[in-house]
Amino acid sequence: MYKIILTNATNDNQKVVWDVKKDIKLLRSASMQKQEDGIDSVSISPVHNFVENSATFIQPYNTLIEIINEKTNVIEFKGRVLSPESEMTDSGLFTHELIFEGAEAYLKDSIQSYSFEFDKLPVENLKKVIAHHNNELKNEAYKHFKVGNVTVEKNIIPSDENYNEELKYFKRSDDKDTYETLMDLKEKYGGTFIFEPTNDVTLVHWLKETGNLTNTVIKIGKNLKSIQKKFDASEVITRLKPLGASSETANGDEIKLTIAEVNNGSPYIDIPQLIKLFGIQTGTVTFDDKHTPETLKKAAEDWIKEHEKKQARISLSLDALDLSYLKLDPDEFKIYNKHRVICPPLNIDEDLKIISIKVDLLKPYDKEVSFGERELGYAELEKERSIKNTNLIINKTVPGIIDRQTGGINRDVMVLNDYKITFEDLKLHQSNLLDEVNQILNSEYLVDNEVRADLLLKAQNVESLSNTIKDALESADERTINATKLVVLQNKMNAYRLSLKSFVIAKEGAKISLLKRLQILQSQYTEKKFSDTLKSVAEKFGLTVNQYNELIGEPNVVQKAISVVTEQTDSKLANYVKSQDYQTDKNGIVERLNNSDSERRQLSNQIADRVTITEYNNGIEAIEQNTDQKLSTMKTETLQDGKKISQEVSQQVFNTSSKTLNQTLSQYINSISTGHQFTYDENGNITNFTIGSSGIKLNGRVIDMNDGDVTIQNGVTTITDAYIPKLFSKKATVEYLDAIGITARTLQAKDKQASVNIENGSITMNRDSGARMDIGLDGIQSFNNGGSLRFSLTPTLVTTSAVGTSVSNVYLGAAPTGEARIVDMNGIPGDGAIGSYAYRPIRTLAIKFPLKANGYIGIDGNELRIMSDGLNDGGFKNIRADKGYFATVDMNNEINGTHFYIRPKPGGELRATYNNGGDTSYANIRSDGIYAPWIDYNGHIAGSHFYVRPAYGGEVRLTNTGTTDQFASLRSNGIYVPWIDFNGQIPGSHLYIRPGSGGEVRFTKTGTTDQFINIRANDGDFNQISYNKWVQKSREEWKTGIRKWEMNASEVLINEVDIYEFYYKNDLDYLTRGSVIGDGYKVPDFWLSKSKNGIDNTSVIWTLAKALQEQIKRNNDLENRLKILEDKLNG
């Protein structure tokens, strides 16, 4: 069970709203949601009276909640309320809802500062983030966090070409809150953050792996109430179009490489096994680093092998009974844990991890659980397909399935388990009631015998019903439980609840009776017994008692009388009340003694306030001769006359042998020191003592010390050997000084040739020659003896004739986003803008860049020029390099000539290759024209085809040199084209296909000479093509996926086929018959051609053949049955 407490941010007002043990039930409903990714939350619905009486208590962000699992004594949730909601229904019922967000939401209340962390452990980065958060909210301790267990490790960085130094970095941004920063850490290093509330701060655990495999199984008929299974294939791809690197067309458009030229002209790759499951679902995947069709196709095939293993996802959510509360299961349902889930009707039997859990806090055994998504491969998809068609997202709810598969018995078992849990709750309530009732029955103040008897009867009745239900539940057999037995059990449970209610009413009546009796006894004693005792004491001491029960007499006599009153009171208390009531009555006496106060006597010019006793201790059985009489605080008199006030300090009496501080203590303290602050009451007594902000200052002139290393005489202090953290002195003589901090204005050298002056936040070193150096927060400046600047070091400028070292490198550092600039120093500091400075040349032997890094030269103009020493006035110089990477190589217009030369060595070639593919990874060449005696195929590129590709809509034309309309002949071994058209720019109209002498024109499939294809010709209308024989190839080696056709062809012909007669629009004279494809027409899907525009006659023929086969079989069966009947009739 759970205990739920509401409090405010200062924790000075707590309200328990749910505690079954104490019968506090101020909630209508309450639930807690925990999830792996996201902030946990709690929703409660308090009763109207509580909200009405707590209007000022419930405030957004200020009202906090704490939820304690009383079974484990663990705090499971801490958080704050967001926006309370209230409403009144049309029936007049008021409802209220409070939504709380978990303590991790406090991380949204702080903004991180910018920092750049390099090569640090994840735990170090996390500690820095949490420390900043705590410091930002240092005045709100309840929002603080502490780093707990961290198992996440550094990223493993490869040392090969995949090396990425950014994996070592972690950057905190000053525009992100702490929660977002933690999510950045998670994205960089992985793992899971777990927030654990404690009695102090919230712990942050960062774990690489979470959860344990438990022994509690979730299954039908035991603890599974309902289940939902979702199958998501929204991202499945069954037809892949792989795309490679981009290139630019002649008109500037960007196109991507495809596999068409190495895939029989098709840019797609079909995945047959997935098409069979989902149909055609086309998708694209881009491989930007693939520059040839061959490598692109290989990459696409690898992608298919990897991704067909996880083409779809499956997720589960369910409602279950947590039977660990009845000790019927070993493990409780907790987030991150793994449980075995068994539901045969939905083909579920596996270990699954809980990623979200919702708990009913009033019925904690009732939980909604969600498990993490699992990716399915082809084999599992086939298995799922055998259960139900997976072309749609499956949404299966189980209650009906459970009924059909398991029958009523398992429903009854679930109800029985629910009764067991409810009975445990009621038994706990009964136990608490019995404890309270036993205390009432054992009290001697319960004197009403009728009330006592009624309470005993109610207790026995509750106990009897409880034992009856306990026996019934223990004897209930899950195998034989049924609805009739459950109804009997339900009636007993209802009677038990009514009995408990009557028991509570009887208990409250007994408490009222007891309290009334106690009030009567207390009244009888506190009035009369005190008065009698006081009169008896007054007679012994010659005092009188006035109408207010006050002793009238001398103060010292009154004090002795008090002691006697105490002793007699002890004796009479023992006679009138039991020892357990003694303390209560004694406190009553003390209150009366305190309230009586001491008499205020008015003399001629003096008022004496009598002593007020605020605390005493009596009842000691044996008083020894020197035993202390404990008086905690006795205030002294305040004597007041017309001209003089004598203030005496409060006396603290420790024991009979202690010394008393006399009234001169404060005067003595003030005479030798200052800095004391005293607080006085209305009578002038010291009630408090503090030290001023400047501390205590002793008057050295009245102190004389002459012992040890320190002597003080006549206000002069001499220290022989001492450690002094701070020394303030206008004049001090020190023979030897070893100091960490010295405060001084001027330090003078012994030879008077140099001095150091410290004043106004700066240090000046002076030489007797007149040279000096100033050191301050703004930098260092050195001046010659004539006053001229020698060198300076300031935040904006360092001036010196040279910077160097003979033993190491020289470093010139800039900010992470800054740069080093060589400028005219007269413009420094300037405003930092690039155009605000006059730049100067840099002369060096060589420029080197960092190891394993590129070198960059940035310019704001149009060109990088390599000139002679005269720079802009000089001529151009050559560039020599191993390789050059350019977007454009242009002719230098400032050099004579128009031709552009690229000159390989004799015997060499001009080769255009990709910049990342090696010497034989050839790239395209684009130009206006190419002049060459021949064009040969590049044997260094995989493949053997040669491509001449005009623009879309254009043609490949072979013409004589220098012409565009004088066509040349084409001679080749073979031509592969989708069509051949007549060249209308050549005289004539005939198209000739001329085989060799005695040869034939044959139409065969691509790449074959004996597999003939159909011919379609048009002469105004489609003409028939006659053939002598039609043969469908059917050898086994030409086929795949062979299986027996299990289909009722007769039913298909009857129910799914309509045969129509119609005319083709281009042949209205010829009536034909067949199927029609379109809306409202019946035609089976498997009769359609691939284009969905025609009928596959092969499928039609074989459907008819199978239907005929089925009819023949049925006919044979009928004949056999008829033969049997005839035999029977013929006897």
Per-residue pLDDT at 1092: 84
Residue-wise pLDDT tens digits, 974-997: 777 777 777 777 777 777 777 777
pLDDT at 643 over 50: no
C-alpha count within 13 angstroms, C-beta hemisphere, residue 346? 28
CA distance 227 to 219: 10
Question: What one-character DSSP code corresponds to residue 950?
Answer: P
pLDDT at 776 over 80: yes
466 φ, ψ (degrees, to nearest 5): -60, -45
CA distance 295 to 922: 13
Per-residue pLDDT at 358: 86
What six digits make up the tokens of 366? 């009732």
pLDDT at 1002 over 90: no
Q: Where are the beta strands (DSSP E) in 92-134?
A: 94-102, 115-118
Q: Domain ranges in the chain?
A: 2-105, 239-308, 405-575, 664-716, 746-800, 1048-1127
CA distance 940 to 93: 86
Beta carbons within 10 angstroms of residue 30's beta carbon: 23
Per-residue pLDDT at 43: 93
State how far the alpha carbon of 1084 is from the alpha carbons of 57, 155, 532, 681, in Å: 71, 57, 115, 106
470 φ, ψ (degrees, to nearest 5): -60, -45
pLDDT at 284 over 50: yes
User: 746-800: which CATH topology?
Assistant: Glycosyl hydrolase fold (2.20.220)
Residue 57: pLDDT band (50, 70, 90) is confident
Which has more pLDDT, 728 or 248? 248
What is the arithmetic mean of pLDDT over 194-218?
88
Rounded to the nearest 10 degrees, the angle between the axes of helix 483-524 and helix 408-441 is 10
Asked if 780 contacts 793 with a C-beta cutoff of 8 angstroms, the reply is yes
CA distance 337 to 319: 16
Residue 100: pLDDT band (50, 70, 90) is very high
Strands 686-691 and 754-759: unpaired
pLDDT at 612 over 70: no
pLDDT at 645 over 60: no
CA distance 811 to 978: 69
**Element of type H or E holding 618:** none
State how far the alpha carbon of 605 is from the alpha carbons of 609, 642, 646, 678, in Å: 13, 6, 14, 27
Radius of gyration of the chain (CA): 51
Per-residue pLDDT at 131: 95
pLDDT at 853 over 50: yes
CA distance 207 to 36: 12
What is the arithmetic mean of pLDDT over 416-438?
79
Per-residue pLDDT at 336: 75
Per-residue pLDDT at 741: 61
- With 0-12 / 13-18 / 19 or more C-beta atoms within 10 angstroms meaning exposed / middle / buried, residue 418 is middle
Residue-wise pLDDT tens digits, 35-49: 888 899 999 999 888
C-alpha 50 chain-centroid distance:
34
pLDDT at 1064 over 70: yes
CA distance 170 to 189: 10
State how far the alpha carbon of 944 is from the alpha carbons of 262, 598, 909, 947, 1008, in Å: 11, 123, 20, 10, 19
Asked if 1056 contacts 1082 with a C-beta cutoff of 8 angstroms, the reply is yes
What is the secondary structure of 623-669 as a DSSP string?
A: --TT----BS-BPPP-EE-SS-EE--PPB----TT-----TTHHHHH
What is the arithmetic mean of pLDDT over 91-100?
81
What six digits make up the tokens of 212? 């344990």
Percentage of the chain lying above the pLDDT 70 cut: 69
Which of 745, 750, 773, 777 has its CA nearest to residue 761? 777
CA distance 292 to 436: 87
Residue-wise pLDDT tens digits, 224-238: 666 766 666 667 788
Q: Cα-Cα-Cα-Cα dihedral of 442, 448, 450, 453, to 10°?
A: 0
Of the listed ranges 720-724, 825-829, 1121-1125, the least confidently predicted one is 720-724
Per-residue pLDDT at 602: 36
- With 0-12 / 13-18 / 19 or more C-beta atoms within 10 angstroms meaning exposed / middle / buried, residue 127 is middle
Asked if 1025 contacts 1017 with a C-beta cutoff of 8 angstroms, the reply is yes
- With 0-12 / 13-18 / 19 or more C-beta atoms within 10 angstroms meaning exposed / middle / buried, residue 369 is buried
Q: Cα-Cα-Cα-Cα dihedral of 1071, 1072, 1074, 1078, to 10°?
A: -50
**Element of type H or E holding 838:** none
Burial 237-271 (b: 16+ CB within 10 A, else e): bbebbbbbbeeeeeeeeeebbbbebbbeeebbbeb
Q: What dotted CATH number matches 2-105?
A: 2.40.10
Which of 557, 569, 669, 555 has its CA nearest to residue 618? 569
**Element of type H or E holding 326:** none
pLDDT at 320 over 50: yes
What is the arithmetic mean of pLDDT over 432-437?
82
Asked if 205 contacts 193 with a C-beta cutoff of 8 angstroms, the reply is yes
CA distance 101 to 143: 13
Residue-wise pLDDT tens digits, 487-517: 788 888 888 888 888 888 888 888 888 788 7
Q: Cα-Cα-Cα-Cα dihedral of 619, 624, 626, 628, to 10°?
A: -10
Per-residue pLDDT at 250: 60
